[in-house]
Structures are given as structure tokens and as C-alpha cells.
Amino acid sequence: MHKFNLLRNEDGSISYFRATCLIIVALCMVLYALLDHTSAGTQDGAAATEGEKTSALNAVFENKAEQEAKLRLQRRQEALAELDDGRHFLTTCGNINAGFEGCRFEFSPQILQFYDAAVEAADDGFSLMLTAKGDQAADLCVTLGADSQGPVYALDKQGKRREECVPQEMRTADLSALHRRIDEIVPQVAPSGRSPIVTRTAQREGNTTDFQSLNTDNRKI
């Protein structure tokens, strides 16, 4: 009784058919292992590539959003500068004319591309307002304004004042140009050499003038 041999026939000669089959099986197993490894690597590579694409797209969108925000800020700053110029112009015009009626101010076409403007000037005051439109309406502050009663202000979409939208130098009223309804009268030194302790003021309403004064001359005769 002879033992079975995969590579040999019963007479002991080599079986080329069996040898070929074994070689084919071995090659198939090796190829399968290689293909499986390559497939796994391809999937990992595809996942990595997809992740890189997503990160790149996110970076592009973030960069675009950042650029748009910077552009809106630049437009707002330009609008505020022109608004402040208008405030100073109308204040000066009102002081010279003893009233704001007849004083006119127009915003430039560059500003009107991104803001709707409203300018009102009456005898006793003026109002300037810019309302953002188009892409500019996505800005933090969408309403910019100023009037004869105070400094430049900015409002968000909810109508809340946002001081961070206005430069510090524009947040205070211009004391060098006073509203015509309040005239400051500089007191003169009394004959005694003593200065008055109360400043006299005059408030004009039409043709009516009210004066309040305090006699500070306490000289003894």
C-alpha cells in the first residue's frame, strides 16, 4: 500500500496537471491577498482625499465669508464717515442761517449703492439716516443715523443701539457747533472784579426771548 502524493502519480511519476493546479491555487490566494490590501488602501486613500476636499471647501467658504464681512465693514466705515461729514455740514449751515431750513446734503452714489438715504432738514432741526440694502443688509449694524440733537448712532436689525459699530470720535456731539436753540452767553467780569457764578442763557422760540440772570455785583457803597 503506497501513500497518496499530490505531485506524483501511482507509478511514482510527477503529475504535471496536479502541479499546475496547485500553482494556480497558490497564485489565486496571493492575488486575492494583494487585491484585498490594495482595496483597503484605496478606500483609505479615497476617504483621506474626500476629507481633504471637504476641508478645502470649508476653508474656501470661510475665507469667502471673512472677505465679505471685511467688505461690509469697509462700506459701513465709508458710510459713517460721509454721515459724519453731513452732520457737521448741516450743523454749520444751521448756525449760519439761524435755522436748518434750506440746508441741503446729499450722499455720494458710492454710498447709495449699498444704503437707502433719508435726509430731512427743518427750521428747528435735521435728521440723516442710512439703511443698508442688498448684501450690506447682512452687516451687524443696518441703520446709521445722526441728527441735530446728538452724535452719530448705529442700530442692528432689532433696532438696538450698537456702539461698537461707530468710531469713538463720532459717539460724542460736536460741542464746537451748537444748536441754534441754545445760545451760550459768555459772562463778563463785574466792575468789582468778581466773576459771575451763573452763566446766563437765552432760549429763542419764534420771536419770544426769555432771560435768566443773576446779579453778582456785591459791592458795598
Q: What is the pLDDT of residues 110-156, one digit of tens each?
A: 999 999 999 999 989 999 999 999 999 999 999 999 999 889 999 99
Q: What is the predicted pLDDT for the residue at 136?
A: 96
**3-state SS string over the chain?**
CCCCCCCECCCCCECHHHHHHHHHHHHHHHHHHHHHHHHHHHHHHHHHHHHHHHHHHHHHHHHHHHHHHHHHHHHHHHHHHHHHHHHHHHHHHHHHHCCCCCCCCCCCHHHHCCEEEEEEEECCEEEEEEEECHHHHHCCCCEEEEECCEEEEEECCCCCECHHHCCHHHCCCCCCCCCCCCEECCCCCCCCCCCCCCCCEEEEECCEEEEECCCCCCCCC
Instruction: Name the percent of the chain lying above pLDDT 90.
Output: 41
Q: What is the predicted pLDDT for the residue at 205?
A: 39
pLDDT of 180 higher than 60: no
Q: What is the predicted pLDDT for the residue at 3?
A: 64
Distance CA 90, CA 92 (A): 5
Instruction: Name the percent of the chain lying above pLDDT 70.
Output: 61
pLDDT of 61 higher than 70: no
The pLDDT-based confidence of 175 (bands split at 50, 70, 90) is very low
- Of 50-59, 96-105, 132-141, 187-196, highest mean pLDDT: 132-141
pLDDT of 182 higher than 50: no
Distance CA 9, CA 154 (A): 100
Please state whether 12 falls in left (phi above 0), alpha (psi between -120 and 50) or beta: left
Distance CA 25, CA 150 (A): 93
pLDDT of 196 higher than 90: no
Q: What is the predicted pLDDT for the residue at 64?
A: 86
User: For the CA atoms of 200, 204, 209, 210, what is the dihedral angle to 10 degrees?
Assistant: -50
pLDDT of 207 higher than 60: no
Please state which of the ranges 26-40, 62-76, 80-94, 99-113 shows the lowest mean pLDDT. Answer: 26-40
Distance CA 153, CA 164 (A): 10
Q: What is the predicted pLDDT for the residue at 78?
A: 97
Question: Could you tell me which residues are beta bridge partners of residue 121?
Answer: 126
pLDDT of 177 higher than 80: no
